Amino acid sequence: MEQRISKSKFKPRALEYFRQVEKTGREIIITDRGKPVLKIVPYTEDPEKELEMLRGTLVKYDAPTDPVGIEDWEALS
């Protein structure tokens, strides 16, 4: 699970948090007034490894260029 830190707490200890991400590989979310605004994640040279979790999740479209929702438009009736 990621760690959440406010901007004000992050700023003076930024290098410490960067090293923590490098060492543990865990993400850090930076918040501004409680809302997430930034995510610090470890760098990877292998984008395929990062995309592995998406494998097999693509939905198949038989006609991707056809308009969608034609039957939803009242003006066409």
Residue 72 lies in a domain: no
Distances (CA, A) of 30 to 1, 20, 54: 14, 14, 25
The predicted-structure confidence for 20-62, as pLDDT tens digits, reads as follows 999 998 999 999 999 999 999 998 888 788 788 888 887 777 8
Residue 33 lies in a domain: yes
Considering its fold, how many domains does the chain have in total?
A: 1
Residue 76 lies in a domain: no
Range of the domain at 10: 3-65
Pairing label, strands 3-6, 28-32: parallel
Residue 76 has pLDDT above 60, yes or no: no
The predicted-structure confidence for 6-23, as pLDDT tens digits, reads as follows 999 999 999 999 999 999
pTM of the model: 0.59
Residue 73 lies in a domain: no
Pairing label, strands 28-32, 35-40: antiparallel
What was the pLDDT predicted at 15? 97
- CATH number, residue 31: 3.40.1620.10
Place of tokens 């003076």: 12
Residue 75 lies in a domain: no
Residue 16, Ramachandran bin (φ over 0: left; ψ between -120 and 50: alpha; else beta): alpha
Residue 77 lies in a domain: no
